[in-house]
Amino acid sequence: MIDPFSPFRLAGLSLCNRIIKTATFEGMSPGGCASEALIEHHRALAKGGVAMTTVAYCAVAPDGRTFRDQLHMRPELVPDLRALTAAVHAGGAAASLQLGHCGAFCNNHDLERRRPVGPSRALNLVGALSGRVLADAMTEGEIEEVTAAFVTAARLAREAGFDAVELHLGHGYLLSQFLSPGSNARRDRFGGSLENRARFPLSVVERVRAALPPEMPVLAKVNLRDGFRGGLELDESVQVARWLEARGADALVLSGGFVSRNPFYLFRGERPLRQMIAVEKSWAQKLALAVFGSALIRAYPFEPLYFLPLAREIRRAVRMPLVLLGGIKSRDDLDTAMREGFELAAMGRALIHDPGLIAKYAAGSARESGCVPCNQCVAEMDREGGVCCAKVPEQVAERAAHVHRARALNYNHEGRAGR
C-alpha cells in the first residue's frame, strides 16, 4: 500500500506527501484583500505538515463573489498574495488557489450588475431576502467574458507565486450551475444534453490549462452528485470526469452538494442552526432561518470518508490523479484513501481544528482528530476575524484578539490593518 507520507509528483509539482488542505473559506479577506490573519492561517497549515494548502474561494471577477468580503482576483491583489505564498513556501508546503464564480447564487450587495447571472433566469435562493431576488441568464458574450476572467485570474495566481490552481466546478457555484440539470434550463448549445451543459466548464478548464505552463497543476473540484432530486447524478459526473481528463485537468477533487439547495450534503454532521442565526447579519435572513431553517436545511449524518462509495466509480473510470475528500479525519482514514487507489487525500475541518495534525500523524504522536464535527466553523466562517474551531479555546481567543487588534489599528475594510 502507498504510504500517505510518501512524496507525489502532480504535473511538474513535487509534493512532500499525499495530503492537501482543501479550500475552506477563511473569512479573512476584508475588502477583498489578503489580510495578515489569512497569511498566518496558511503559514500554520504549511508548518503543520500538509503537502499543499488551498487558499479558498477567490472570485475571478468582482461579481463572482458570494459575499462582499471575499478575495477577487486583480493585479493589486498580487503583492499580498505573494506574501502569502512566500509564507507557505517557507513553511515547507505548496500553495494552491481556488478560483471560482458564484453565478446565480449570490448575497453580495456590491454587484456591478443589477442582478447576478447564471445559466438561466432563476430565483437567487441565497440573496432573495436581502433584495437580490432574481438572477438573469448569461449571454454567450458573458460566458466568454467569465471564461477569459478565469484565464486572467489563473495567470495572476501564477504571478503571485501559487504552485497550483483549483477551478471550482462543484457545490452549486457558476460552473456547477451549468453542469446541473437542476439549474441549467438553457435551450442553446450550453444547455440540454450533458455535452452542452459541460461545454462552458470544460472550456474554462481547457483554456486555463493552456494558459499555464504544463508543470503547474490545474485541479478541478467537482461534484459526484448534486445531492438533490433533478440535480447532477453519478452517471453524468463519471462522464464529466472522463472529459476533464481528456481536456488536461491534472487532478480532480471529488466532492458533492449544492450550497443553495442542500448546504449540509457536502459537510455532513451537525446542523448548527443556532449559530447560523446568531451570526447572520440580515434580520430578514435571521427570521427566515429561525422559522424555516430546520424544515429547509436538511441534516446529513457524518460518516468517515462519506464520499468514498461514489468516488470509487470515478476511480474506475479515469487514470488521472484523484483527490479523495469528505470526512477524512484519522490516520487510518488516510491509509484507506491510499488503499482505495486515490493518489491524494484532502482534509478540511480536521485541519481547522488542528492545523498541526499532519505533522503529529507523521511523527506517530497522534492517530485521531479531535474534530467532532459540530460544523460551528461552517456557521461562523464569515464572522469577523475569520474561521476558527469553536471547540479550541486558544483559537477563539486568537480570533477575538485579532478583531481587537484590527479595530485598534482603525481597520478600514481594506484588509490592511495588522500588516
Ligand X SMILES: Cc1cc2nc3c(=O)[nH]c(=O)nc-3n(C[C@H](O)[C@H](O)[C@H](O)COP(=O)(O)O)c2cc1C
Q: Would you name the residues annotated as active-site residues?
A: 173
Q: Which of 48, 245, 81, 240 lies closest to 153, judged by CA?
A: 81
The DSSP 8-state label assigned to residue 215 in this structure reads T
Asked if residue 257 lies in contact with residue 226, where contact means CB atoms within 8 angstroms, the answer is: yes
Pick the piece of the chain touching ligand X (CB under 6 A) from 33-41, 174-182, 348-356, 392-400.
348-356
Query: Which is nearer to ligand X, 52 or 137 (by Cβ)?
Result: 52
Any contact of residue 209 with ligand X (CB under 6 A)?
no
Widest pairwise Cα distance in the chain:
57
Strands 122-123 and 134-137: antiparallel
Counted residue by residue, the chain has a size of: 419
Output the smallest distance, CB 33 to ligand X, in A. Answer: 17
State the cell numbers at 322: 484523484
Q: Per-residue x/- mask for ligand X, residues 254 to 293, rule CB under 6 A?
A: -x----------xx--------------------------
Asked if residue 390 lies in contact with residue 396, where contact means CB atoms within 8 angstroms, the answer is: yes
- Cα distances (angstroms) measured from residue 116 to each of 27, 60, 133: 22, 14, 9
Any contact of residue 171 with ligand X (CB under 6 A)?
yes
Query: Which is nearer to ligand X, 191 or 275 (by Cβ)?
Result: 275
Any contact of residue 348 with ligand X (CB under 6 A)?
yes
SS3 417: coil
Count CB neighbours of 274 within 10 A.
13
Q: Which residues touch 139 (CB under 8 Å, ≥6 apart)?
A: none
Output the smallest distance, CB 381 to ligand X, in A. Answer: 4
Count CB neighbours of 319 within 10 A.
7
Any contact of residue 158 with ligand X (CB under 6 A)?
no
The DSSP 8-state label assigned to residue 129 in this structure reads G
Any contact of residue 172 with ligand X (CB under 6 A)?
no
State the cell numbers at 105: 447564487
Q: Per-residue x/- mask for ligand X, residues 363 to 382, rule CB under 6 A?
A: --------------xx--x-
Size of the site for ligand X (CB under 6 A): 25
Any contact of residue 349 with ligand X (CB under 6 A)?
yes
Q: Per-residue x/- mask for ligand X, residues 13 to 52, rule CB under 6 A?
A: ---------xxxx---------------------------
Any contact of residue 327 with ligand X (CB under 6 A)?
yes
Distance CA 378, CA 244 (A): 29
Q: Which residues touch 66 (CB under 8 Å, ≥6 apart)?
A: 57, 59, 102, 105, 106, 107, 108, 126, 173
Applying CB under 6 A, which residues contact ligand X? 22-25, 56-57, 98, 168, 171, 221, 255, 266-267, 325-328, 347-350, 377-378, 381, 387
